[in-house]
Structure 1
């Protein structure tokens, strides 16, 4: 790896920005905490690996990397091993390559993501340690793309809030870092990232078309601030969505003593503000085991509560159904009802 910077002037600005982002995201951790980096071999995850290696040395943390070989391309094993080599050059020497089989449920992108995170979580659990963390290289550009995709789907505030900076043990330090900065950091550190060819093909994933065709057009029309503007909107909506979810949980908790676990008074639900009620309905159904719910499912549930005109039961994921009985909303599973 290249010299990390002139002792008098410090590291390259992009390298410094990546390190600061990781340091701020991790905060104060106990000595020896295991910090794992999910690595694809691309510039974002390689720059993240290098930054984590640096911060881990300074703070006395254990740094490791996990590479998932999805097996979707003929040379995927070669790409994975090349990524492992680059990660070691970046300063992380505990590297695991996990090979997975990607299904087809929900589409290729969703199936690959599910298989990837399952493999990452399994490896972290196998290695153990006190409160280990998983860091991913999602950037500000990824955040902007996620917001645009959510807008196109007509999603609500939670989806428009984009990618959370932290969820459980998954931490995303680079949501304040541009993709161009991770590429500059790799160049400054003499790292050789892999560039996914599907990002540059006409028939690639939808996100690839958004990245290569739509975003450049938006920047041309609206100016270079469009990416940071979308990311800033996501951060603001994240705070709003978190507060609305908190109020929905509070309303649900305050009411649980008055109702059975599987039915709820519709007049009580209808009296809640729309933003609270719809979130509460989603939580109620998913807590019962029906999910994940789409906006269409939530709207149908809401119609049973606020616009009931004698309509029958509605189907929910997982074989559940929701219906209105004697002024109450009941969410149940037919198999449960048939048990003696």
Structure 2
């Protein structure tokens, strides 16, 4: 199993970067201290000794987090892997999981750049992918959402999407790699934890085939983005303080993206609408009506015009 997982990790990274890994490649690893990321750390150390660094993000949300980060630091010190503990400069508030995730990736990307690392690896695996797809199905996500956990996004690589949670835990146990169980993973205030408990012990689907479906959805999502870019270049123009789209005889999937793109262009701080709100707006725009979305006003018909909504009088 250890050799098999090491080979699998190396092959997955080479596939994601589109070429064989060379001696020049340097990898940063996001390591929380859980079994998944500790397995990734040990496997990456076996694959690329001397060319990896690790970072652990402590959000200050749990009293045990600093001790867990120190466990990772101790393993790294023993194996001569540079390690950093990163913390946000302000407390997490609002939607705890969403804000913590955004802060975590911002910290990790800044660390990667500062350290001169080429790639950032995370330990998302096949079970994470399955859970994400089910959660997004339940929320009515479209193609982009159902593409779920992307195997690569810029310098971020997720090479373990073909591995199972149980295999990674077994690897840690067999190789005496320490790990901790994050209690938030079992906290049923969170949707993912509730879903995970209900899925425990069930083998409902071939996760390898699921990953292939997710990859196909990601390709479809990229194709829709490409087509949207083409339409923007050819048919979207500025007119004073407004944007005008002079072609609307397009599939709803493209028009939906165009509408969101126009809102972001007019008001980069707008809260972007999603799901049924956008679909209802499309129906009204097709009927030639005007709609308000994201602090913008859009007039419909044969061409669409969007501008910022007038400031509200107080």
TM-score range, shorter-chain basis? 0.7 to 0.9
CA positional deviation for 1:229: 4.1
Q: Which of 28, 44, 53 matches 2:45?
A: 53
8 Å CA contact 1:281–1:301 kept in 2: the answer is no
The one of 89, 98, 105 aligned to 2:86: 98
Deviation at 1:227, TM superposition (A): 3.5
Q: Would the aligned equivalents of 2:241 and 2:307 in 1 still touch at CA under 8 Å?
A: no
CA distance in 2, matches of 1:295, 1:331: 20
CA distance 1:190–1:20, change in 2 (3 Å): farther
TM-score (norm 1): 0.80
Partner of 2:67, secondary structure, is helix
Taking the aligned partners of 2:241 and 2:214, their CA distance within structure 1 comes to 34
1:137 aligns with 2:112: no
The 5-angstrom pairing of residues 222-233 of structure 1 reads 223-233=203-213
Cα distance in structure 2, aligned partners of 1:167 and 1:333: 31
RMSD of equivalent CA atoms? 2.9
Partner residue of 1:62? Answer: 51
Q: Please name the residue that 1:324 is paired with.
A: 299
Which residue number corresponds to residue 179 of structure 2?
Answer: 193
The separation in 2 between residues aligned to 1:88 and 1:126, in whole angstroms, is 20
In the alignment, is the contact (CA less than 8 A) between 2:297 and 2:309 conserved in 1?
no
Provide structure 2 residue ranges, at least 5 long, that are not aligned to the other structure.
none
2:138: which partner in 1?
Answer: 152
More helix by share: 1
Q: Map 1:76-115 to 2 at 5 A.
A: 76-89=65-78, 91=79, 93-100=81-88, 101-105=90-94, 107-115=95-103
Equivalent-residue separation in structure 2 for 1:112 and 1:22 (angstroms): 26
Determine the C-alpha separation between the residues in 2 that align with 1:92 and 1:208.
35
Who is 2:190 aligned against? 205
- Evaluate the alpha carbon distance shift between residue 123 and residue 48 of structure 1 in structure 2; reply closer, same or farther with a 3 A threshold: same
Give the secondary structure class of the aligned counterpart of 1:174: coil
Q: 1:276 aligns with which of 249, 254, 266?
A: 254
Change (3 A) 1:287 1:263: closer
